[in-house]
Amino acid sequence: MSGSTGIPKGCVHTTGGCMIYAALTFKYVFDYFPGDVYISMSDIGWIIEHTYNVYGQLLNAATCFLFEGLPTNPGRYWEIAERCGANQLYVAPTVIRSLMRYDDD
């Protein structure tokens, strides 16, 4: 809508560009194959999270896991991935930085 006239500007999406991008990059960049169990643990508000943990997975008929909240211990990510049988795990850089404060154990 225009701020001065209140008339719609007529913006129309005429292609599936965003969805095609999400589907193809999930398939080829994340190397997804049917039967893989891919889990992404990042903040859903990040563009990468909803693109690859919702759109990309669903467009490729993959299983979609969502994890909300902060883990109560550093092993929580691995427990969830193991319980779900994940063979691909993606986390955001902020997750890696948050785990760096713990020792290797």
59-102 tens-digit pLDDT:
999 887 777 666 667 788 888 889 989 988 887 777 778 788 88
Distance of alpha carbon 1 from the chain centroid: 31
Minimum mean pLDDT range among 1-5, 20-24, 46-50: 1-5
Residue 59 in tokens: 């467009």
- Write down the H helix ranges in 29-68: 47-50, 56-59
Residue 51 and residue 22 in contact, taking contact as beta carbons nearer than 8 Å: yes
